[in-house]
Amino acid sequence: MYIRRVTRKNKDGTTVAYLQLAHNEWDPKAKYAKAKVIYSFGREDEVDRAVLERLAKSISRFLSPEQAWEVEKLTGEASDDFQFQSCKHLGGVWLLDQLWRQLGLGEILHSLFASRHHQIPLERLIFAMVANRALHPSSKLAMEEWVEKDVYIPHLPEVASHQLYRAMDELLIVQSDLERQVFHAVADLLNLEVDLLYFDTTSSYFEVDPSETPEEESLRKQGFSKDKRPDLVQIVIGLAVTREGVPIRAWVWPSNTMDMTVIKQVKQDLIGWKLGRVISVMDRGFSSEENLRTLQQAGGHYIVGEKMRSGKASVEEALSRRGRYQQIRENLHIKEITVGDGEARQRYVLVYNPSEAERQRKERETLLESLKEELEGFRQLPNEAHHKATCRLRSHPSYGKYLRQLKDGTLRIDKQAVRDAEKYDGKYLIRTSDDTLSAEDVALGYKQLVDIEQAFRTLKSTLELRPMYHRLEDRIRAHVLLSWLALLLVRIVEIRTHESWPKVRDECERLMLGHFSSKNGDLDQRTELTTKQAQFFAALGLEPPPKILGIHPRT
């Protein structure tokens, strides 16, 4: 369909032009297309121009912003006399929002909240908090200004902090369904391998004095701090990730929860997910016999680290077993050991890293030299000071294990303790219940446990999980849930782009959205895509934002 101009020559020699709305129809007899007039606007010099403008504007409602802008320019409505009013960050939020939609997270939340008939856009509010964790971690109050003035979030021009807290409360209500549906959606889309699941725990503290917590507080307590902040109350966070490093679920426990006690709940929570044959990979803190039996329920298997100085008879036998190491990687040597017979047999893999052994040897030599200097200084101390210095050395976390005290109270370096320590240099012991895995697969599978440590570092540093300021238990759990969703998006970006999230984030955040105004209206237009930005969007299979995001004619 198009507007055509036809002319007619009068008898007096003048020419008259007419404007018509027409479209072409195929004439099967003539074998060519003929123009069919749908509407005649009349003589060109008598046509009401406003009619054509209204027609163009009504059509532009169904065009993209760029196409509509071209129509505005053709009709003379668009003006080049624009003033640059403001700009917002666009690229980072746009990338996360497109990935959010690609994974189906928006649809999942809409379906979970469909029956609750809320007046606020819960899905958009939850996405905004997740994007804030990934891009510019801040408090919920600070997010009000961040959303309104700093970033462009599709379909969310502004927020209020009380709406964000309401969204957190609603999110926690649907947590179990959300976690399960998100896992299946992500696993199907990314074709995740879930035969190996890595699990570990960490702690996260609160900037509040222990005396300020209510007496009935059951979650925030003092405990063993992996952040080296025993002076503050904290919680324990568990995380399960796939072999690709994608986090599939997070848990929250009170601060005094021991690693040994959480496996049963983790196993139980994942039973309904129909994961099939799963081998759980865990660190030495989870290697109790009860935990290992739990991991083998429902046909599961485990790969766990063993404490080499645990005193277990089977561990001592495994470490004393002679045999040659097999080199499978640079600085990675393995030796397979089976202890016992029949169903009671236990399969171990002893791993040796020569470079790590050399590093530990040099560190110990430096420590012992320093210890000798400390002992030499005892000769010049008076009696009372001598006793204080002796107690200090014996209780020292590094020096104490290499000291022995004679009957007369004199301290000496324990040479036997030094020889015992040398036997463990560069070694760690792995135990597995799966006989189908090769020793190499067992060693490499356990070595990948570093991925979950990287996930914890991302949670705490990049996403700034800590310190937390929430007081209510439900808000604390919702905060961890939002951080898990942010970590999920971040890890998928890193896997697909083969770049760190900070690098992708910083590059995409340079893509800005400018707001321009003129006497005829306002225009939202982005800056030009850089080559690197285009590469990131392509690697993720996402569409970059259009050049013009909005046209707002002034009426």
Top mean-pLDDT range of 62-76, 180-194, 350-364: 350-364
* CB under 8 A, 24+ apart: contacts of 174-179: 174/109, 174/112, 174/113, 175/477, 175/481, 177/112, 178/108, 178/109, 178/112, 178/481, 179/249
Q: Is the pLDDT of residue 239 over 70?
A: yes
pLDDT at 270: 80
User: Is the distance from CB of 69 to CB of 551 less than 8 angstroms?
Assistant: yes
Tell me the per-residue pLDDT of 250-264, one tens digit each, with 9 for 90 and over. Answer: 999 887 787 767 888
Helix, strand, coil percent content, the chain, rounded in steps of 5: 45, 25, 30
Q: Is the pLDDT of residue 85 over 70?
A: yes
Between helices 354-377 and 415-422, what is the axis angle to 10°?
170
Q: What is the mean pLDDT of residues 439-459?
A: 81
Q: What is the DSSP letter of 355?
A: H
What is the DSSP code string of 107-162?
A: HHHHHHHGGG--SS-HHHHHHHHHHHHHHS---HHHHHHIIIIIB--TT-S---HH
Least confident of 112-116, 177-181, 342-346: 342-346
Question: Alpha-carbon distance 266 to 271, whole Å?
Answer: 9
**Class at the top of the CATH hierarchy for domain 192-353+426-468:** alpha beta
Taking CA atoms, 101 is separated from 91, 107, 139, 426, in Å, by 15, 8, 25, 46
- Identify the band that residue 135 occupies on the pLDDT scale cut at 50, 70 and 90: very high
Taking CA atoms, 206 is separated from 75, 214, 230, 236, 460, in Å, by 60, 14, 11, 12, 13
pLDDT at 151: 97
Q: What is the mean pLDDT of residues 88-101?
A: 97
Q: Is the pLDDT of residue 76 over 60?
A: no
Question: Alpha-carbon distance 76 to 90, whole Å?
Answer: 29
Q: What is the mean pLDDT of residues 128-138?
A: 94
Taking CA atoms, 330 is separated from 45, 334, 361, in Å, by 85, 11, 19
Question: Alpha-carbon distance 80 to 322, whole Å?
Answer: 83
- Nearest CA to 169 out of 484, 483, 476 is that of 476
**Better pLDDT: 185 or 274:** 185
Q: What is the mean pLDDT of residues 475-481?
A: 91
The CA angle 462-464-470, to the nearest 5 degrees, is 165
Q: What is the mean pLDDT of residues 314-326?
A: 88
Q: Which helix (H) or strand (E) holds 522?
A: strand 521-526
Q: What is the DSSP letter of 260?
A: G
Q: Is the pLDDT of residue 512 over 90?
A: yes
Residue boundaries of the structural domains of the chain: 2-75, 83-87+510-553, 192-353+426-468, 356-423
- Identify the band that residue 341 occupies on the pLDDT scale cut at 50, 70 and 90: confident
Question: Alpha-carbon distance 280 to 267, whole Å?
Answer: 9
Tell me the per-residue pLDDT of 106-125, one tens digit each, with 9 for 90 and over. Answer: 999 999 999 877 889 999 99
Q: Is the pLDDT of residue 75 over 60?
A: no
How confident is the prediction for the chain on average, in pLDDT?
A: 84
Question: Alpha-carbon distance 271 to 437, whole Å?
Answer: 23
Which residue has 């222990």 as its token pair? 210
Q: Is the pLDDT of residue 516 over 70?
A: yes
Is beta strand 521-526 parallel, antiparallel or unpaired with respect to 512-518? Answer: antiparallel
At 429, list the tokens.
Answer: 């012991």
- Identify the band that residue 460 occupies on the pLDDT scale cut at 50, 70 and 90: confident
Q: Is the pLDDT of residue 514 over 90?
A: yes
Taking CA atoms, 97 is separated from 132, 183, 248, in Å, by 12, 18, 19
pLDDT at 297: 74
- Identify the band that residue 208 occupies on the pLDDT scale cut at 50, 70 and 90: low
Portion of the chain with pLDDT greater than 70, in percent: 88
- Identify the band that residue 456 occupies on the pLDDT scale cut at 50, 70 and 90: confident
Q: Is the pLDDT of residue 277 over 70?
A: no
pLDDT at 199: 82
Q: Cα-Cα-Cα-Cα dihedral of 360, 366, 372, 374, to 10°?
A: -110
Question: Alpha-carbon distance 290 to 385, whole Å?
Answer: 48
Question: Alpha-carbon distance 454 to 219, whole Å?
Answer: 25
- Identify the band that residue 233 occupies on the pLDDT scale cut at 50, 70 and 90: confident
